Amino acid sequence: MKSHIIAALDIGTRTLKMGAGRRNEERGTVEILGIAEESSAGVRKGTVVHPDDLASRIVVLKARLEQICGAPLEEVFVNLGGSHVFVATSRGIVAVSRADSMVSQEDVDRVLQAAQALTLGQNQEVLDVFPQQYILDGVGGIRDVTGMKGNRLEVDVLAVCGFAPYVKNLTGAVLAAGLEIADIIPSSLATSAAVISQDQKELGVAVLEIGAGTTSLAVFEEGELLHTAAFPVGSGNITNDIAIGLQTEPELAERIKKEYGTLLASRGRKTERVELADGQILLVPQKKLSGIISARIKQIADSVNGELKKISRQGKLPAGIVLAGGGVKLPGLAEFMKKEAKLSVRVGTVERIEAFPNDPALLGLAGLLILGCDSQEYRPSKESWGLAQTLKKMLRSFIP
Q: What is the mean pLDDT of residues 86-104?
A: 94
Helix axes 250-260, 286-310, angle to 10 degrees: 80
Residues 146 and 113 reside in one and the same domain: yes
pLDDT computed for residue 270 by the predictor: 85
Pair 151, 172 in one domain: no
- Note the pLDDT of residue 268: 60
pLDDT at site 267: 56
**Same domain, yes or no, for 168 and 77?**
yes
Distance CA(400)–CA(396), nearest Å, equals: 9
Q: 169-173, 200-204, 224-228, 324-328: which range is least confident on average?
A: 224-228
Residues 183-190 have a mean pLDDT of 92
pLDDT exceeds 80 at position 243: yes
Write down the mean pLDDT value for the chain: 90
Mean pLDDT of 215-241: 95
Asked, for residue 265, whether it belongs to a domain, the answer is no
Q: Does 10 lie in the same domain as 119? A: no
Domain count, the chain: 2
The whole-angstrom separation of Cα 292 and Cα 246 is 10
pLDDT tens, residue by residue, 54-92: 999 999 999 999 999 999 999 999 999 999 999 899 999
Q: Considering the domain boundaries, does residue 77 fall inside one?
A: yes
Q: How far apart are CA 64 and CA 55, in angstroms?
A: 14
Residue 324: other Cβ atoms inside 10 A = 30
Instruction: For residues 338 and 343, give the distance between their C-alpha atoms in angstroms, rounded to a whole number.
Output: 5
| 215 located within any domain | no
Question: In CATH, what number is assigned to the domain containing residue 387?
Answer: 3.30.420.40
Residues 52 and 155 occupy one common structural domain: no
**Domain assignment of residue 72, given as a range:** 6-83+164-192+351-398
Q: Considering only 317-321, 350-354, 363-367, which range has the smallest mean pLDDT?
A: 350-354
Residue 313 lies in a domain: no
- Is pLDDT of 1 > 50? no
pLDDT category, 327, cuts 50, 70, 90? very high
Between 270 and 209, the more confident residue is 209
pTM score of the predicted model = 0.88
Check pLDDT > 80 for residue 298.
yes
Section 107-123 average pLDDT: 92
Stretch 20-31: mean pLDDT, rounded?
Answer: 88
The region of weakest confidence among 67-81, 142-156, 274-288, 319-333 is 274-288
- In a domain, residue 32? The reply is yes
Domain for residue 326, yes or no? no
Question: Cα separation of 176 and 398, whole Å?
Answer: 12
Examine the domain organization and report whether 26 and 147 are in the same domain: no
One domain, residues 28 and 155: no
Q: Residue 3's pLDDT band (boundaries 50, 70, 90)?
A: low
Q: Helix axis angle, 164-176 relative to 51-69, nearest 10°? A: 40
Q: Tell me, yes or no, whether 34 and 73 share the same domain.
A: yes
Which is it for strands 281-285 and 271-275: parallel, antiparallel or unpaired? antiparallel
The percent of residues in the chain predicted with pLDDT above 70, rounded, is 92
pLDDT tens by residue, 193-208: 999 999 999 999 999 9
Average pLDDT over residues 286-299: 95
| Pick from 98-107, 126-135, 323-332, 378-387: least confident | 378-387
**Rounded percentage of the chain residues whose pLDDT exceeds 90:** 80
Q: What is the CATH number of the domain that holds 158?
A: 3.30.1490.110
What is the structure's pLDDT at 129?
Answer: 86
Quote the pLDDT of residue 383. 37
Please state whether beta strands 47-48 and 43-44 pair in parallel, antiparallel, or not at all (unpaired): antiparallel
Q: Verify that 111 and 168 share a domain, yes or no.
A: no
**pLDDT at residue 399 tops 80:** no
17 shares its domain with 50: yes
Give a yes or no: residue 15 inside a domain.
yes
The phi-psi region of residue 87 (left if phi > 0; otherwise alpha if psi is between -120 and 50; otherwise beta) is beta
Q: Are 76 and 90 within one domain?
A: no
Mean pLDDT for 315-340 is 97
Q: Tens digits of per-residue pLDDT, 38-53?
A: 999 999 999 999 999 9
Q: What is the pLDDT of residue 93?
A: 97
Specify if 217 maps to a domain.
no
Q: What is the predicted pLDDT for the residue at 377?
A: 62
Instruction: Of 345, 349, 305, give the one whose Cα is nearest residue 322.
Output: 345
- 188, 97: one domain: no
Enumerate the β-bridge partners of residue 92.
155
pLDDT in tens, 125-163: 888 888 999 999 999 999 999 999 999 999 999 998 999
